[in-house]
Amino acid sequence: MKISTKGRYGLRILIDIAANRTSKPRMIKQIAQNQGISQKYVSRLVLDLRNAGFIKSIRGVNGGYVLAKPANSISILEVVEAMEGEIAIVDCLAKADCCNNCLECPSRHIWKSANDALKNSLGWLTLASAISGYENKI
């Protein structure tokens, strides 16, 4: 499994919003400039992040986007899976009918262990831990 631009940029957008030290919501233009992502793409990803419940929009002249819940309650695993779908490093972990040997495969348990380790690591990491030390850079 390779995490796509959508997943990577989605996480970067959330980190940008979470690391904002001002009391003002982050505007798409600010996020795009900070992250080097086009405004058009940021706009699309922000909709996905909002629909997933990570951010909410504030309307008005001083509007923009803020986190919908505390940064320490958003795991990196949640973000990646919201943007990419379930993490599965090999096909047989996502669908049992990927091959004729899937359920009896001698290497499947190895891939499952590796996949579980990845998911545990990403589940343990939070948005709050991701912004630690990054806050002063934006």
Domain CATH for 73: 1.10.10.10
Task: Provide the residue type at 44 as one letter.
Answer: R
Question: Is residue 76 a part of any domain in this protein?
Answer: yes
Instruction: Give the pLDDT confidence of 35-90 residue by residue, as tens digits.
Output: 999 999 999 999 999 999 999 999 998 899 999 999 999 999 999 999 999 998 88
Mean pLDDT of 118-124: 96
Q: How confident is the model at residue 134 (pLDDT cuts 50, 70, 90)?
A: low
Q: Which domain holds residue 76?
A: 5-85+126-137
pTM, entire model: 0.87
Q: How far is the CA of 7 from the CAs of 21, 77, 83, 87, 129, in angstroms?
A: 24, 11, 5, 11, 18
Instruction: Give the pLDDT confidence of 80-114 residue by residue, as tens digits.
Output: 999 999 998 888 777 767 777 766 788 888 988 99
Question: Is residue 59 a part of any domain in this protein?
Answer: yes
pLDDT at 135: 59
Q: Which residue has the higher pLDDT, 109 or 134?
A: 109
Question: Is residue 109 a part of any domain in this protein?
Answer: no
Question: Is residue 98 a part of any domain in this protein?
Answer: no
Question: Is residue 111 a part of any domain in this protein?
Answer: no
Q: Residue 138 pLDDT more than 80?
A: no
Number of domains comprising the chain: 1
Question: Is residue 33 a part of any domain in this protein?
Answer: yes
Question: Is residue 49 a part of any domain in this protein?
Answer: yes
**Neighbour count for residue 99 (Cβ, 10 Å):** 11
Question: Is residue 132 a part of any domain in this protein?
Answer: yes
Is there a contact between 99 and 111 (Cβ–Cβ < 8 Å)? no
